[in-house]
Amino acid sequence: MQVSVLASGSKGNAVYVEMDGVRLLLDAGISATRIKKGLAAEGVDAASLDGVLITHEHRDHIAGLVTLSKWYELPIFTRRATIEHMSCRAAIPAERFHAIEGAFRIGDLTIDPFNIPHDAADPVGYRITGSSRCTLATDLGFVTASVQEAIDGADVLVLEANHDPEVLKHGDYPWALKRRILSNRGHLANADAAWALVRMKKRPAHVFLAHLSEKNNTPELAENTVEEILHRQGLDIPICMTAQDRAVHLH
């Protein structure tokens, strides 16, 4: 299994997963040029992708989708309500979209979308299972019981660690925005990410901490908070920090 977080953060998100001969892009929230170059650095031609999985319609997850669709005839998989609420929907040929509900297959992989609590039309995370399992769970207001169940069993987990609540509360965001981020349909705090890892029955081999806020978090703060909680619980789980401006890889 190959996992590359091409970009992750408030300005744009895209993750590449290759497993059992299937090549997938999860979200296209950065420019198509960056996606193309990021994949090329991995030795992957973007035209060889087997599909693009979209979690929800917010710009930081679809910003590169129109151009990517113009360059390559790639199937796009997401929930019907997400398609309907995409600002760029009219600019993408309708036949590219594949509305999904439950689990479906691409090649030898089973793709299982699961509901996540976020302020979007019908947002999902993705559990991708073949010879290994990779799970993406970001843009979470909190970790529901169903999300906790969905992330369990992941060999590689891409998990949100968006903010530190105290930094957010004392920062310069308008209160309405602070309230949105802190809400049950906002974004996941560092400590909540750590406790989700603690509750996992099977420990993942690798964890990417993702979607860090530039204003309300730092990589050091997120990593230290998560690792401190894990250490207090007697757990040692390899943590990898993602970045907004560069790709982070696992081979």
User: Residue holding tokens 């925005």?
Assistant: 177
In the prediction, which pLDDT does 250 show? Answer: 85
Average pLDDT over residues 114-134: 98
Phi, psi dihedrals of residue 153, rounded to the nearest 5° = 90, 0
User: In angstroms, rounded to a whole number, what is the distance separating the alpha carbons of residues 124 and 114?
Assistant: 5
What does the pLDDT look like over 22-50, one tens digit per residue? 999 999 999 999 999 999 999 999 999 99
User: In angstroms, rounded to a whole number, what is the distance separating the alpha carbons of residues 120 and 45?
Assistant: 31
List the domain boundaries for the chain: 2-250
In the prediction, which pLDDT does 80 show? Answer: 98
Largest CA distance in the chain: 51
What does the pLDDT look like over 136-189, one tens digit per residue? 999 999 999 999 999 999 999 999 999 999 999 999 999 999 999 999 999 999
2-250: in CATH 3.40.50.150: no
Check whether 21 has a pLDDT greater than 70. Answer: yes
In the prediction, which pLDDT does 251 show? Answer: 64
User: In angstroms, rounded to a whole number, what is the distance separating the alpha carbons of residues 24 and 74?
Assistant: 10
Average pLDDT over residues 93-105: 97
Contact 218, 241 (CB under 8 A): no
Beta strand residue intervals within the chain, DSSP E: 2-7, 14-19, 22-26, 51-53, 76-78, 97-99, 104-106, 109-115, 124-129, 133-137, 156-160, 206-210, 239-241, 248-250
Average pLDDT over residues 48-62: 98
User: In angstroms, rounded to a whole number, what is the distance separating the alpha carbons of residues 230 and 228?
Assistant: 5
Choose among 57, 56, 71, 65: nearest CA to 31.
Answer: 65
β-bridge mates for residue 135, sequence order = 127, 157
What does the pLDDT look like over 207-227, one tens digit per residue? 999 999 999 999 999 999 999
